[in-house]
Structure 1
Amino acid sequence: MSMDFFFAPSFHLPIEFIILFQQFWVFYTAYAFLYFLFLAPKRKKLYSIPLLLICVSGSYSFTLLYVFVYNKLYEPVVFTQQQIIFTVTQVTTQFFIPAIGYFFVVKFFMKQEKVKELEQQKLILQKELLQSENNFLRAQINPHFLYNCLNFFYSETFQQRPDVAEAIMLLSQMMRYSLTDFSATRGLANLEDEIEHIQNVVQLNKFRFSDKIPVSLKIEGNTEHKKIVPMLLMTLVENIFKHADLKDAASKAEITCTIDEKEKKLIFTTVNKKNPVIAGVSQGLGISNIRQRLVLLYNSDKGLQTINEGNLFKVQLTIPYFEPEQTLHK
């Protein structure tokens, strides 16, 4: 059975439209079949099976429509079922093959685009690291002089004002930790040290306000022998002291750090009452910076969730922690 009847020498507009639509149908459903089979996420790969059936059944339906229109409008011709199936197979194959070629061309350009995107992310990360190094060098301007001054203030105030001396010691510990060169620890910080740094920040702020600010810090789980990206949690804590309403003793700001050893994840949650004055002008730069860091570090910011309801603001950050022998970039 040849395809002469399907490409009649005389031009008939309805017939040409049917043929054209059948070609488009086979081409694009075949491409969709290949896309879901090879490029779609695992949970969507099963969509390829109905798409293949749609491709073939659609081609078959267009062939039947062609036969019907041709018999009604032009000349009656009898086609056997075998001839129709042969024609469907031939047409489907003819336009399935170009769809395969088109698929691989698209796949090639998608791969090139992904490589370009990864290179751009690498350049951004290198720029961020260079900026961090520059900031670190600027912060290192004679740090020993600052430590010596703080130690002097501590020794001078220890007898007369032990509360002030303790605050000075906390400030000294915070500065020392902030200037830590984490490249020596493969880009990661001890979770215990991060938590201690957060505790120092909370305690120092309580000293500032005579222990009257309603902020609680709760640690759930074992923090030993675990490492995380440094200073990622600190931004959320700083946001509380910048944007929360800490004058209302009845609305306590809560900081919770939960270590899930089964999933090897850390869940860091902050809940606070919003300051109505600051909330109206805040640009959310802290949250935005965290999202950017998460994308650079984990290729996704899905681990950060914010809930803004009524006068309460909640942030939950879920990130993996690392074992002592792991590095940030393998």
Structure 2
Amino acid sequence: MNRFFKRKWLLHCYFWIGYSFYFFVVNALGNSRLNLGASFITVFYCAIIFYAVYLILKYVYDRGHILGTLVLMIGFYLLSGIFLYYELYGRFGLEIINNRYVITKHAFSWGKYIQTFLVMHSNYTVMAVGYYYYKSKLRESNDKLEAVKARLNAESSMKSFQYATLSAQVHPHMMANIFSHLKNKVDPYDAELGRQLSKLYRLMKFYMEAHHVDGATHILLADEVRALEQYLSIQEKVEPNPFYINLSCSGNLLRFSTAPTLLQTLAGNLFKHADLWDKNHPAKIDILVGHAGYRIKVKNKKRSGPQMMPSHDVGLRNVRIRMEYLFGTDFSMEENQDHEHYELTLCVQRYN
């Protein structure tokens, strides 16, 4: 960055030095008394006019401060006019009027003074405005190019993620054929196990669709509850001991949506950390749907003794991130716990 900055201003210096020689050669044709030093002084002051106007446009006008731009421009031109008067008619006696550069004790003339002021300032003001417009268009083109590159990179990344996701999944049709074959083999001997295989396939298909790159980010709360019920039904057959989780729902579950696999994540945390085998203190998952939103509250008794599976808070952190992505500030999540009990409350409330 510093190298680019130094190179940029070095090029500007080369330009003004070259322009000073050009200025001297062109004007010396009509004024043999003009020297190179006077040309450098004149061009240096013209460069000050150029950069002053350009910087005001870049750092004030660019930010939409039109009044500030006018005030600074007028202030600069007033100061420059005073300085120009002092140089032309002060004790140095350097005058630049009608190609006459070194004339001393020249009588003051408003007409000639205004002419000199306008010639010097208008030319380099126009140059500064043109340079500002060129740099603005160049910056706008670069921004568009960067935006296109960012979009292409995002699309490339999305395709890579999509490929990885699809590669990690088994095709649902193949899974359906496998589970159907197993169910037909098992049904004559154990109809209940056949039904469990069907539930397991539906749950697996639900997970696969929920984690598909192009899959829906929202699903109905009713569908999520139905998937949770299937999950708990399968767990009843998997767990060696009976567990106690009370699921209660009130309100119209068809009115609102949620993130796929949200409830399964919460139930999975119960199986990892909660005491689910105390019949007198069952874990609870309460879903209350109201007029403007819904609330999900999970309560459980903590498992005593050392934890079999350590908690990394990854599941709950992912829940928070996903729900905030979907609902923004309409979503809130709160945890409360003591030595024996844990409570988690998720709320989606539309305020508008």
| Preserved CA contact (<8 Å) 2:295 2:348 | yes
| Preserved CA contact (<8 Å) 2:288 2:294 | yes
Residue 24 of structure 1 corresponds to which residue in structure 2?
Answer: 55
| Preserved CA contact (<8 Å) 1:218 1:257 | yes
Pick the aligned partner of 1:212 from 231, 244, 252: 244
| Preserved CA contact (<8 Å) 1:304 1:317 | no
Q: Which amino acid aligns with 1:175?
A: M
| Preserved CA contact (<8 Å) 1:257 1:268 | yes
Residue 41 of structure 1 corresponds to which residue in structure 2?
Answer: none
In the alignment, structure 1 residue 121 sits paired with structure 2 residue 154: yes
Pick the aligned partner of 2:78 from 47, 64, 68: 64
Are the structure 2 counterparts of residues 89 and 271 from structure 1 closer, same or farther at C-alpha, using a change threshold of 3 Å? farther
Give the C-alpha shift of residue 150 in structure 1: 4.9
| Preserved CA contact (<8 Å) 1:150 1:168 | yes
In the alignment, structure 1 residue 103 sits paired with structure 2 residue 136: yes
Give the C-alpha shift of residue 10 in structure 1: 6.7
Give the number of the structure with larger relative contact order, counting CA–CA contacts within 8 Å between residues 6 or more apart: 1
| Preserved CA contact (<8 Å) 1:254 1:272 | yes
Q: Which amino acid aligns with 1:174?
A: L
Are the structure 2 counterparts of residues 258 and 251 from structure 1 closer, same or farther at C-alpha, using a change threshold of 3 Å? same
For 1:172 and 1:316, locate their aligned partners in 2 and report how far apart those are by CA, in whole Å.
Answer: 31
Are the structure 2 counterparts of residues 128 and 10 from structure 1 closer, same or farther at C-alpha, using a change threshold of 3 Å? closer
Give the C-alpha shift of residue 112 in structure 1: 1.8
Are the structure 2 counterparts of residues 134 and 247 from structure 1 closer, same or farther at C-alpha, using a change threshold of 3 Å? same
Cα deviation 1:295-318 (Å, max 9, x = unaligned):
xxxxx9464567565536566689
For 2:84 and 2:209, locate their aligned partners in 1 and report how far apart those are by CA, in whole Å.
Answer: 82
| Preserved CA contact (<8 Å) 1:218 1:255 | yes
Give the C-alpha shift of residue 96 in structure 1: 2.8
Q: Which amino acid aligns with 1:213?
A: I
Residue 197 of structure 1 corresponds to which residue in structure 2?
Answer: 227
| Preserved CA contact (<8 Å) 1:254 1:271 | yes
Give the C-alpha shift of residue 156 in structure 1: 5.1
Residue 144 of structure 1 corresponds to which residue in structure 2?
Answer: 177
Are the structure 2 counterparts of residues 58 and 132 from structure 1 closer, same or farther at C-alpha, using a change threshold of 3 Å? same
In the alignment, structure 1 residue 175 sits paired with structure 2 residue 204: yes
Report the TM-score, using the length of structure 2 for normalisation: 0.51
Q: Which amino acid aligns with 1:61?
A: G
**Structure 1 vs Structure 2: percent identity of aligned residues?**
13
Pick the aligned partner of 1:239 from 248, 265, 273: 265
Are the structure 2 counterparts of residues 303 and 180 from structure 1 closer, same or farther at C-alpha, using a change threshold of 3 Å? closer
| Preserved CA contact (<8 Å) 2:247 2:285 | yes
Are the structure 2 counterparts of residues 52 and 179 from structure 1 closer, same or farther at C-alpha, using a change threshold of 3 Å? closer
For 2:45 and 2:234, locate their aligned partners in 1 and report how far apart those are by CA, in whole Å.
Answer: 83
Give the C-alpha shift of residue 147 in structure 1: 3.9
Give the C-alpha shift of residue 238 in structure 1: 3.1
Cα deviation 1:278-301 (Å, max 9, x = unaligned):
78623459728975xx9xxxxx94
Cα deviation 1:117-159 (Å, max 9, x = unaligned):
222222222223323332333676664343444566677556x
Moved more, 56-65 or 139-148: 139-148
Moved more, 71-80 or 60-69: 71-80
Counterpart secondary structure, 1:110: helix
In the alignment, structure 1 residue 52 sits paired with structure 2 residue 81: no
Question: How many residues are treated as equivalent by the alignment?
Answer: 269
Moved more, 122-131 or 168-177: 168-177
For 2:131 and 2:137, locate their aligned partners in 1 and report how far apart those are by CA, in whole Å.
Answer: 10
| Preserved CA contact (<8 Å) 2:333 2:345 | yes
Q: Which amino acid aligns with 2:81?
A: V
- 1:1-330 equivalences in 2 (<5 Å): 11=41, 19=49, 20-30=51-61, 32-33=62-63, 48=64, 51-68=65-82, 93-137=126-170, 143-150=176-183, 170-178=199-207, 191=220, 193=223, 196-202=226-232, 204=234, 210=242, 212-217=244-249, 220=252, 222=254, 233-243=259-269, 246-247=274-275, 252-255=284-287, 270-272=296-298, 281-283=312-314, 287=318, 301=325, 303=327, 307=332, 309=334, 311=336
Are the structure 2 counterparts of residues 250 and 181 from structure 1 closer, same or farther at C-alpha, using a change threshold of 3 Å? closer
Which has the larger Rg?
2
| Preserved CA contact (<8 Å) 1:170 1:204 | yes
Counterpart secondary structure, 1:136: coil
RMSD in angstroms over aligned alpha carbons? 5.5
Give the C-alpha shift of residue 61 in structure 1: 1.5
| Preserved CA contact (<8 Å) 1:15 1:66 | no
| Preserved CA contact (<8 Å) 2:219 2:259 | no
Structure 1, unpaired ranges of 5+: 1-7, 34-47, 261-266, 295-299, 319-330
Give the C-alpha shift of residue 102 in structure 1: 1.6
For 1:222 and 1:125, locate their aligned partners in 2 and report how far apart those are by CA, in whole Å.
Answer: 31
Moved more, 149-158 or 237-246: 149-158
Cα deviation 1:75-101 (Å, max 9, x = unaligned):
558979x88899877665432332222
